[in-house]
Amino acid sequence: MQIVINHLTRMQQGYICAAGFDAAGRHVRPVLPNERLTADLLMCHGGPFEMGAVVDIGSVRPAGQPPEMEDHEFAPAQARFLRFITADKFRPWLQRLARPRLRDVFGSDLVPIGDHSAGVNVGSGCASLGCFVPQNLPLLFFRHRPGKHSIIRILVKDADFDLDLGVTDVRLYREDHVTPDPAIVQRACIEMCRQQCILGVGLTRPYQKPGDSKPMHWLQVNNIHLLNDLLWRVGSHPAPEGVTPPPPPPQP
């Protein structure tokens, strides 16, 4: 099976998630049974996965369960990078896949959680990946945490939700794929003000936050697709000196 990579995200240190669309425009997430993908599958570490890469992931076996219907088991040793899609072909695909409302991506099972989060109950839902055109100009920022790495967040709206979401785009992080890169985040902020963007959105694996009564699949932003600079890749934007990260917005 051949897919074009349009979701490429960081997870815990040393691990990633990659996904793409096939020739019919269906999202496919290559997965391993009871394991996670390791960061050495990124092209910058010698692997096949990079944004906009056309990858043959070999023979696959559908392994999806609601809401993660895109999961397909594969053998990493069979995965081969073939070429990069051109921006002129990538752009119309993203525009075709993108939806103006998050419930158009995830269905009516996407529900608000608290004031500014959303998610899907375990065992529910029809999809866990998609592309979304935000109603507002998204605001990308750092949320600082005492004694821990800062995390990248984004404020985004549609007709149903007013959200403060985590951002896991691997291209916004340093080589350890854990530490946010302030200069690249700042550059993304500037470019999002200058040009249209499409957000790659996804649901996390089930996670129960402290104090919650049950695990949920939490909504997050997997990738930021800048329509005039679609194929910026891991490590392709050197960090200029003297750039400070965007401050957090006022708390809602």
What confidence score (pLDDT) does residue 15 get? 95
pLDDT of residue 250: 46
CB 227 within 8 A of CB 171: no
Q: Which of 133, 118, 142, 151 is nearest to 200 (CA)?
A: 133
pTM over 0.85: yes
Alpha-carbon distance of 99 to 208, in angstroms, equals 28
- Please report the pLDDT score of residue 19 as a whole number: 98
Instruction: Per-residue pLDDT tens, the chain, 252 aa: give them.
Output: 999 999 999 998 899 999 999 999 999 999 999 899 999 999 999 999 999 999 999 999 999 999 999 999 999 999 999 999 999 999 999 999 999 999 999 999 999 999 999 999 999 999 999 999 998 899 999 988 888 778 999 999 999 999 999 999 999 999 888 899 999 999 999 999 999 999 999 999 999 988 888 999 999 999 999 999 988 877 654 433 333 444 544 443
